[in-house]
A and B are shown apart, each in its own frame.
Chain A
């Protein structure tokens, strides 16, 4: 167990280092330099003194050789210091710190909605015996994944904010401003949950132990809730990392549409402005979140299904085949 833990933590650190390095390399390879962009966008086309640009580059250390810049930013980043935004002069920690609460509220509300509705759709789709309801429910997840978030957001705004005036169209103060963006962001995430969980439930229902349970007199409801759901939730649980990625990526769109000053919109504006320090800070933050979620999932597996760690030890037993042994009705 300790070895399993240690390995996972080491992996997490390696992933963080890799994302930092790759993001640094990508930003460095872009054809423009951030200072010229910052100065140029601040001057709406008027000439800017080359000396001024050089001075600003020196101020941000962008005149140093690439390996010095890499080492500086890495060593500062390790200490939690990501420098100053080139576009606004704000410290990166402060800029991201201001944006995090808004995104956290949005992402957790969306995740809650996604889990509840995603699970409900999957549950009902596999439980019901009414054919058309089943078909309808099974067609929902692909639809939810397919419709563009941007479009959904605008439709919701049009209907609930501009026509019905039920919710404010912009801002991020309080529950009222959270409802529409959370629903918008929950849609694609919930669809993924529903899709994975429904597929997994279907597979589980075809397992021989279900027949065994039936033979012992368990009702359809009992089988679904007591056996199928628990076993089938593992794949859905496994994609938690993907879901977090979904939420972070989705927040870029949702926060822009709903005018929320969160991490997603900060990402969008910083990338557009090639504000390297801010983008680096966001990349590191996102990978920390991603890595932590996956680490948590890895650490929780053994609690849901002890065979995952046991399997590593004996390495000759695989899932599936021995499921039957675990059934106690």
Chain B
């Protein structure tokens, strides 16, 4: 019936058009990680920020949040035990003043701030921590709180040592839990909110300790957040103390990017999600700017299924890395707000190291393939033992630039004699075929501000879309980083893991994803947190 709406066609067309105009449209667009208040004077409290979301939040409950648009809203309502500095990746105090970790990273003791209250008036204590984590594991479970539950894998329980001290225990080392304690998924809600069912929590009638509270939540339509009076326990990452500046934040769901941009430049909205690169000149023309930051986690890349097609050959996988001209991908398709990938982790992930092998060197790619006996055939495509060096890549248009990027990669690979076929499918179908491991290679990225993403994505016990068998050195380092609490030692292990993922040809990186938030001229200090999502605490409206 209504399955293929003209809208969808138009959106795909817009994506293709976007890619075409990007190169010229974006040359004037600079990127900063937050808007500057240098010439706007001191921060003024008060006012309403009207924000345009690109899709409806799926749920009001931070524990059940996953999509960016959901987190933009839910993040403001809860505080977390810790906060992560977006610049350094370091963990800072928030609801916990300090914390201790035991030697093997299986027990974490949080010393909580005093005098913190939920917006329903009840006090925040160690008991609140226990109830929240218990609920994620026992009530919501992985079915409703996919991310939260995955952070709590092996959760044994929380012990209330005294009202201001909570000890969280795991059955096995779980070093990633400290970073996880800074995420909105493990944000702390009041006892009465935690006692509700998953569905009730989604409907918006919940209270946290955060700088904003839900004033109105209408699924699919709009959300209004109101400032929490008396808020005085902000994280060390925040730019100021005390209450938030904004009185209210009004989120409206505006799915069409052109309508979001038009509403921003005509003053009907103050800031918008997912500003497409071709919309940047219009936003800047109206005195606004596009705020960008690069996502931590794994950059976009190819994940080969090592049990199928020519990618079974590790030599072929290693030859693909130098065959891709990443700078050209950025320059031609995405523009200066984006970065070429330089490792199997994105550059803003804690523990990231640049890998010298992630360079463009087509001669190297050719010689690797020559030596392995892949000889160019009559059509220029290499062959070996009657098999063509040709494979399809499975992808969807989750990110508008995907198709244009892959078309260019297709040309680049052809230069070295590799035939890449593009297999564009709907997002649901891509998910289904990924789960069934029905692909030769798949193309995507994932966001997480912790190196443990390598374990969940490439570990034998993780998603392992590579369908690989044991690789003892890699398996060992992935396990070890989870048992190491010292940040420097853990970073060294994560660095090793990054290199091994590349050397084994488990990920062929292309470009890093960037967030692009359009902000009007009066929006000041709207900031990204460490996972590249928005934090409205320091934001304020100038010139009102």
Contact = CB atoms under 8 A, between A and B. Distances in A.
Q: Does more than half of chain A's interface fall in helix, strand or loop, or is it mixed?
A: helix
Of A55, A88, A253, which is in contact with the most chain B CB atoms at under 10 Å from its CB?
A88
A199 interface: no
Nearest to B203: A90
Interface stretch (B114-122, B156-164, B206-214, B216-224): B216-224
Contacts of A31: 428-429, 432-433
Interface in B382-440: 426-429, 431-433, 435
Nearest to B61: A89
Given A51-B142, A89-B144, A171-B252, A257 B432 contact: no
B88 interface: no
Contact of B431 (A40, A161, A271): A40
B146 A171 contact: no
B58 interface: yes
B64 interface: yes
A89 B6 contact: no
Interface string A170-203: 1110000000000000000000000000000000
Interface stretch (B361-369, B371-379, B455-463): B455-463
A33 B433 CA distance: 10
A53 B444 CA distance: 21
Given A89-B144, A169-B266, A252 B2 contact: yes
A206 interface: no
Contact of A44 (B66, B202, B258): B66
Contact of A273 (B146, B150, B266, B428): B428
Interface stretch (A67-75, A147-155, A233-241): A147-155
Given A40-B431, A90-B219, A169 B262 contact: yes
B7 A168 contact: no
A84 interface: yes
Nearest to B282: A162
Contacts of A273: 428
Contact of B259 (A33, A40, A157, A253): A157
Interface of A: 23, 30-34, 36-37, 39-49, 51-53, 55-56, 59, 84, 87-91, 95, 98-99, 148-151, 154, 157-158, 161-163, 165, 168-172, 248-249, 252-253, 256-259, 261, 265-269, 271-274, 283, 286
**7 nearest A-B residue pairs (beta carbon):** A52-B142, A45-B446, A42-B66, A32-B432, A56-B143, A261-B221, A162-B262
Contacts of A32: 428-429, 431-432
B79 to A, nearest CB: 22
Contacts of A45: 297-298, 444-447, 457
A269 B5 CA distance: 11
Of B64, B254, B267, which is in contact with the most chain A CB atoms at under 10 Å from its CB?
B254
A265 B146 contact: no
A249 B2 contact: yes
Contacts of B263: 161-162, 169-170
B432 to A, nearest CB: 3
Given A31-B432, A42-B64, A169-B263, A257 B268 contact: no
Contact of B266 (A161, A265, A286): A161
Given A150-B7, A253-B7, A272-B427, A89 B220 contact: no
25 contacts: A31-B428, A31-B429, A32-B431, A32-B432, A37-B428, A41-B66, A41-B427, A42-B64, A42-B67, A49-B146, A55-B142, A59-B143, A90-B202, A90-B203, A98-B221, A99-B220, A148-B6, A150-B7, A170-B254, A252-B5, A252-B7, A256-B7, A267-B2, A268-B5, A271-B3
A52 B254 contact: no
A310 B256 CA distance: 53
Given A33-B432, A47-B462, A283-B1, A261 B266 contact: no
Nearest to A259: B254
B434 to A, nearest CB: 8
Contact of A52 (B149, B219, B253): B149
B448 interface: yes
B446 A46 contact: yes
Nearest to B447: A44
B198 interface: yes
Contacts of B222: 171
B68 interface: yes
A195 B139 CA distance: 59
Interface of B: 1-3, 5-8, 10, 52, 55-56, 58-59, 64-68, 141-144, 146-147, 149-150, 153, 198-199, 202-203, 218-222, 252-256, 258-259, 262-263, 265-268, 297-298, 426-429, 431-433, 435, 444-448, 453, 456-457, 462-463
Given A44-B446, A55-B142, 15 more contacts: A30-B429, A40-B431, A45-B298, A45-B446, A46-B446, A47-B456, A52-B143, A56-B144, A151-B10, A161-B268, A163-B266, A249-B5, A256-B7, A256-B255, A268-B2
B143 A55 contact: yes
A48 B5 CA distance: 31
A154 B432 CA distance: 34
Given A37-B431, A169-B263, A42 B142 contact: no
Contacts of B446: 44-46
B219 A44 contact: no
Contacts of B220: 95, 98-99, 261, 265-266, 269
B413 to A, nearest CB: 24
A98 B219 contact: yes
A36 B435 contact: yes
A53 B59 CA distance: 18
Nearest to B4: A271
Contacts of B253: 259, 261
B56 A269 contact: yes
B150 A46 contact: yes
A50 B116 CA distance: 37
A44 B448 CA distance: 9
B6 A259 contact: no
B432 A88 contact: no
